[in-house]
Amino acid sequence: MSTRAVIPTLLLFLAVFIAAFNLRAGISSLGAVLADTLEAFQAGGSLAGIITAIPGLFFALFGLLAVPLATRLGLSRTLLLGAALSFLGLAVRPWVGDIWVFILLTALVTTGIALANVLLPAWIKNHGGRHIVALMTVYGSVLGLSGAIGPLTAVLSDAPDAWRRALFFWAAPAAVQVIVWFVVVLRIGRDVPTSTSPRVDATGAATDPVSLWRSPTAVFLMLFFGLQSMHAYIQMGWLPKIYVDHGVPAGTAGLALALTGSFNIIGGLIMPAVIHRMRSVVWLPVLFSALMGAGYFGLWLAPATTPMLWAALLGVGGFCFPTAIALIPARSRVPLVTARLSGFVQPIGYVIAAVGPLLVGVVREATGGWSVILPVLLVLCGLMGAVGFRAARNVFIDDELAAHA
């Protein structure tokens, strides 16, 4: 039976939209109120480092479990489980009185998001049919919207507990996500990737299993994804703090973070189609990495002069994220290889990502400033451009795996 007969087109797009809408706001909203949150719990920079490192750490841990779990439960059921976990964490987290309970609930939020991070591209590949490019466009652009508007809830109120309201706000769309995916599960039940065996070649036929470590393109895509994710989570967790430490008003700092995230909307709208249609896109990661490096350079030399310009450069550089996400289905043929690739690129990539925010917290507390951190981030942009150049080559990972079968 075709997917179109099981999932109506409207529900197909609605499910992707609401899942993508919940993939970043629960994280980026915390970065905008991090200073107030730490003050409320009387927590220091090291705990801030732990909080900002949680997304990468748990995306890595539970991303590794996502594909095996989806093979057992089904893609849609696992996505529903992730939505429920995120809702629980978002609804309860703002009202606890202990920092370690807050951290635990933040981990619960990111656990749910981690499952969707890995499985949603595979779900789109499995169920999207002729709508795959359109669904990836919705996914990437709405995910960017989620990251951009998350920090804006920080300006909802000037009350002493405004940070609690800013965080709790995102429990509402999380609840909607649970409802939508519950409807999806009722309609299609247990769905697994089109090829149910992990032993597939380039055509989807059975063969001996080949590790994705044997695919150079997969490895470079994982490194590229990890480095761009590291920059993204450093920015989501620390960019407002960088500005505030240099005398920029907190409201302006929050708007700067929202501006940076807003460019992911544009990137998400255009990058799937660009990668689908262009013969060669290897120069794009180099360009975007260079622009991000220019943003860090501005933050290093004159952060308070034109804060929105530096935020905009970081935002355009953030096109690396929709580029990396769009490359996952674009560089694989069959849905199971897409799922395996997503389950390889994202979890291992997020291990790289998790190190960044944690080290920033430790170094910031040790040095009391940003004069060491920002030049290092600038250098890492150069490395990101180099690995992204190799990852973007027009190669199917299925073929590289088949060559080693």
| Higher local confidence (pLDDT), 206 or 303 | 303
**Domain positions in the chain:** 3-190+202-403
Residue 193: its pLDDT value, please? Answer: 58
Task: For residue range 378-392, list pLDDT tens digits in order.
Answer: 999 999 999 999 999
pTM of the prediction? 0.72
Q: Is 206 helix (H, G, I), strand (E, B) or coil?
A: strand
Average per-residue pLDDT for the chain:
84
Average pLDDT over residues 72-100: 93
Q: Is the pLDDT score of 142 beyond 50?
A: yes
Residue 5: its pLDDT value, please? Answer: 44
Asked if 330 and 208 count as a contact pair (C-beta separation under 8 A), the reply is no
Alpha carbons 145 and 30: distance in angstroms, whole number: 16
Burial-class residue 189 by CB neighbours within 10 Å (0-12, 13-18, 19+). exposed
Q: 3-190+202-403 in CATH: which number?
A: 1.20.1250.20
Average pLDDT over residues 172-185: 96
Q: Is the pLDDT score of 198 beyond 50?
A: no
Of 71-80, 106-115, 323-332, where does mean pLDDT reach its minimum?
Answer: 323-332
The band of 156, judged by pLDDT with boundaries at 50, 70 and 90, is low
Q: Is the pLDDT score of 126 beyond 80?
A: yes
Residue 229: its pLDDT value, please? Answer: 87
Average pLDDT over residues 27-32: 78
Residue 185: its pLDDT value, please? Answer: 93
3-state SS of 136-204 is HHHHHHHHHHHHHHHHHHHHCCCCCCHHHHHHHCCHHHHHHHHHHHHHHHHHHCCCCCCCCCCCECCCC
Residue 159: its pLDDT value, please? Answer: 67
Residue 191: its pLDDT value, please? Answer: 83
Q: Please give the distance of CA 220 from its chain centroid, rounded to a whole number.
A: 18
